[in-house]
Structure 1
Amino acid sequence: MFQKLFTSSILLLFFLNSFSQDKINVILIGTFHFNNPGNDAAKTNNRDMLSKENQLGLEQITDLIVKKYKPDQIFVESNYNKKRELNDNYQLYLKDKFSAFTDTIKNARMRKLYTEGETFQLAFRLAKKAKNEVIYPIDTLIELRFDLLQKLIKSDAKLSQIFKDKVANLSKKANYTLAKKDLKEVFKDLNTDKDLNENKGFYISFANSLGINENYFGANLVSDWYKRNLIMYSNVQNQLISNTKNIVILVGTGHAAMFKDFIKNDEKFNLIELKTVL
């Protein structure tokens, strides 16, 4: 009898404590890639993020986030194993010496990444305003054979047409959003449940069903996609520091679609819809 009462008391205490602890507010920002490397199947038009108009937009967005939910930590889609390199660059940024580094980059594609990429243009700017000392990378390298997926699709005329139609629709919608003048409206549109679910739906409703006779190639590809996102999410969970109240996670919209589900099912977090911030 005593053992049962003791066990019940412990369970009740754990239950009450889990609800008494404050949840961490999470602002999840699904973004397009500012430097537009063109790696995605859906092709989007370039948006000059260095223009006066877009620089003003980034100032407005970061000001609003800091005013309403000053982030204690900011997590970005950058290589988890290169945290030191990322933060060395951030320290240069804080000292207004970042351009001295980017000017030394001879490869045009890499220079564009470091000068225009969302990590440096949005996350660094936000972290500086929030007086953060460190940026937290979360990305992991898992090989996803989309080249083999496309080869499989091309072998079937019907599948090929379905794929082309899906990509064309995604490209059209993305370009419509990116053409909006107000950068805040661009981010609001990118982060609606409808758009995020359509992004995620491509993997579930289309890719997952392919290659059943090729050892379930589609399902294995989708499971690798989930695995990558779960590892990235784990890199968020395991870099949280004590007393953190507000965090920002900045990732591509494909990752954001997955992360939104993870956050909603994580008892430690309280998801803040981006539209309520901007």
Structure 2
Amino acid sequence: MSRQQSSDTPPEGWPRCESGPVEVMLLGTYHMDNPGLDVAQLDVDDVLHPERQAQLRTTVDALEGWRPDRVAVERPYDRADEVNAIYDEYRSGKRSYDAEEEIEPPHPSRNELTTECRSEVVQLGFRLADRLDHERVFPIDYPMTLANEAYEELAEDGFEPEEKIQFDQLDVSELEREVTEQIATSSIQEFLLWQNRERNLGVQSAGFFGESLRWGRENNFGGPKLVATWYDRNLRMVHNLWRAIESEDERVLVVVGAGHVHILRELLEKTPMFCPVSPLPSLEEAM
């Protein structure tokens, strides 16, 4: 298998992959089932609409050309059997990607039976693995509650961090407006191109470090603890990715919420077994 990414100039912010480490394409995406779990709450249309389904097929066409050996998804690692039981039903044709399906969600924070079929896990992860004739997909997530007692104590007390210096702060309402508008006026492939560009990848990290890190007083380190939990979760995801691969693997594609990409890239760059890869060349080539 060729390693084209190693010889081409990678997009801004991404390393050049040399021979040896497993290349990990981080496909950052919005949560297509709109579960309301992120900082920014988006107003998105239904991905089961025929026009969106056609766009999803085109997007998978673009990603298929990278020929990953495995597809990893943002579902709990310890629910791999449940995730793959659902994947088997799609792969066998028992369930259809373009139909509303009732599915017991393999995710502890979701309870709607008709949202999982709309998720990026199914619509991108399952669909791509199915196209590549993979027998399994690989959940790598380790869901964690970011808030902690110290942080909540500060919030209950009406704590506001000091404004010591001027710096760019995350405007959640502006982010919601911009992303919602971008989705509404773009195809899915166009939106993923926009979302995975360097200027957009660091937005959530800026929020963590610009806002949450400042929360604390005296012996209360609620904000730093929240940020540390975010790192902990993503470190466990990298570890679960290591568990998923086999010795002959060269490429893994990870379908993950875009807020994870910035930190996962940082962690994968520090992990000598892996090299993070941008999805932009694959998505742009098919435009």
TM-score, structure 1 length as denominator?
0.82
The equivalences for 1:9-24 within 5 A come to 22-24=20-22
| 8 Å CA contact retained: 1:30, 1:250 | yes
Map of 2:101 onto structure 1: 102
Map of 1:15 onto structure 2: none
Map of 1:78 onto structure 2: 75
Q: Report the count of equivalent residues.
A: 257
Q: 1:20 to 1:225 in 2, by over 3 A?
A: closer
Q: Larger Cα Rg: Structure 1 or Structure 2?
A: 1
Classify the secondary structure of the residue corresponding to 2:246: coil
Name the CA distance, whole Å, in 1 between partners of 2:185 and 2:21.
34
How far has the Cα of 1:141 moved from its partner? 3.1
Q: 1:277 to 1:59 in 2, by over 3 A?
A: same
Which of these residues, 110, 119, 122, is aligned with residue 121 of structure 2? 119
Q: 1:146 to 1:38 in 2, by over 3 A?
A: farther
Bigger shift: 261-270 or 228-237?
Answer: 261-270
Which of these residues, 47, 50, 73, is aligned with residue 49 of structure 1? 47
Amino acid at match of 2:138: Y
Q: Deviations over 1:156-192 (max 9, x none)?
A: 46879x9997211221222132223221111011112
Amino acid at match of 1:81: D
Classify the secondary structure of the residue corresponding to 1:111: coil
Amino acid at match of 1:140: Y
Map of 1:27 onto structure 2: 25
Which structure carries more helix by proportion?
Answer: 1
How far has the Cα of 1:275 moved from its partner? 1.3
Map of 1:197 onto structure 2: 202
Map of 1:142 onto structure 2: 144
Segments of 5+ residues of structure 1 without an aligned counterpart are 1-18
Amino acid at match of 1:34: M
The equivalences for 1:190-269 within 5 A come to 190-213=195-218, 215-269=220-274
Bigger shift: 25-34 or 169-178?
Answer: 169-178
Amino acid at match of 1:126: L
Q: 1:246 to 1:200 in 2, by over 3 A?
A: same
Please give the root-mean-square deviation of Cα atoms over the aligned residues, in Å.
3.0
Name the CA distance, whole Å, in 1 between partners of 2:197 and 2:103.
39
Classify the secondary structure of the residue corresponding to 1:37: coil
Runs of at least 4 residues off by over 6 Å:
157-160, 162-165
Does the alignment pair 1:132 with 2:134? yes
How far has the Cα of 1:105 moved from its partner? 5.9
Map of 2:182 onto structure 1: 177
Q: Deviations over 1:106-146 (max 9, x none)?
A: 9x952232210111111010001111111101111322217
How much identity, in percent, do the aligned residues show? 26
